[in-house]
Amino acid sequence: MVHYHIVGGKKLSGSIATGSGKNSPIALICASLLMKGVVRLGGITPVEEINRILEVLVSIGVRVSWEKQDTLVIDTTGKITPEKMDKTVAAKVRIALLLFGALAAKFPTFKVYRTGGCDLGERTIQPHTRALAKLGISIGHKSEYYDVRVKTLRGAHVTMYESSDTATENVIMAAVLAKGTTKITFASANYMVQDLCYFLNECGANIRGIGTTTLIIEGVQVLNPPAVYHPIPDPVDAMAWISLAVTTASPLTITQCPVDFLELELEYLSMMGQKIVRSKTYTSKNGHFELMDVTLPVSKLHANHDKLHPRPYPGLNIDAIPLFMPILTRAKGRTLVHDWIYENRALYALDLQKLGAKVTLLDPHRVWIEGQTQLRGGELVCPPALRPGMALLIAMLSAKGESTLRNAYMIERGYGDVAKRLKTLGADIRRVTQS
């Protein structure tokens, strides 16, 4: 178990770089199974979700190592045996669903064990199964696993009835080695989907329409890894540090912020009165995205008249919504937050009440948050969900007095070296582990 002990209410200072997070790297890691060779991914922030998916790959025969601390080396030249998959580890990570598309071109039958991840209520996999069926992949539901069977993998017109990031990635991975042309309409155009497409194109795939909701994929016979590929800095990682700066009223600088995937979040903050200093833009290491450095001067905040709600890209990032909640405790007035995507995630906002926040639950999807509240320290168990857990940690760093966040492993699934990175900003935080 991992616990954080915090003395909050301190002003922070300095700068922090946006990490790679988990979403894009894991898609690229799974995509390495589409080729025989050695894939090198640079600039990887070590997070627990990456460790878990690597354990799954190692269990089926992939060799994994690290170079220069942040370069992940994935060697798929050995024999890959899906039936040896470690079902215990696979069941811990929902993103293991990406193995549907990653293994379909190589194996006519295989199993993927039922997956875990954040506790956000009922989460169907129908967007995956319905879309992949168009390409010739059938997925049967068993009590402990999904039984995947592949006929002839062939291109098709796939309409994504739900604009799911991972389901879109699954179809892309299945389509790049399928026979013929695949057209994906109503596809997710989110950052991790774009990054996967750019990576696969550098491996020899033929994907057009990147960044739009319509993708055209001409199947190829073979893919070959590039020398090294750096995933996009994760915008939800950047949003966590932005939330930290605003919530603690600390003039922090967050570097390597992906412009196109934070623009609406920053606009919403600006409408609340937050001053924002932006650097000139520069190009990401992979050459495909614009980045900037963002400084958040101390500002007086007021509630926005419009409700705060997410939508698939382009829109306020679904994962950014919980990270706005501690910010709203500083804003004068009342804000309606409508977190409509997941069944249960809005319920976790009630944890902020235990730190002195004024939160009113209207239904499982909507909460009122009353601002200009001085938070106070407390002892809480981390919610079983990544982004709400990080939001609670941010609130504790703002709260006056001592706090303890117990069983905080969930945060480390998506944020690497959390305590160490916070200490560089002047936070008084101690990470404690117990067996």
pLDDT tens, position by position, 243-267 = 999 999 999 999 999 999 999 999 9
Distances in Å between the alpha carbon of 238 and those of 37, 250, 253, 278, 298? 32, 15, 10, 14, 18
Average pLDDT score over residue span 357-366: 95
Average pLDDT score over residue span 410-421: 95
pTM of the model: 0.96
Distances in Å between the alpha carbon of 429 and those of 5, 279, 354, 417? 6, 30, 19, 12
For residue 366, report the phi and psi dihedrals to the nearest 5 degrees.
-130, 135
Query: Beta strand pairing status for 63-67 and 109-113?
Result: unpaired
Read off the tokens for 232. 């996009």
Tens-place pLDDT, residues 302-313: 999 899 999 999
Query: Beta strand pairing status for 157-159 and 181-185?
Result: parallel
More confident residue, 327 or 125: 327
Tens-place pLDDT, residues 123-167: 578 999 999 999 999 999 888 889 999 989 999 999 999 999 999
Tens-place pLDDT, residues 183-207: 999 999 999 999 999 999 999 999 9
CA distance 372 to 303: 10
Question: Model confidence at 122, in pLDDT bands (50, 70, 90)?
Answer: very low
CA distance 142 to 109: 14
More confident residue, 97 or 60: 60
Question: Model confidence at 342, in pLDDT bands (50, 70, 90)?
Answer: confident
> Is the pLDDT assigned to residue 74 strictly greater than 90?
yes
Q: How far apart are the first and last CA of the chain?
A: 6
CA distance 410 to 399: 21
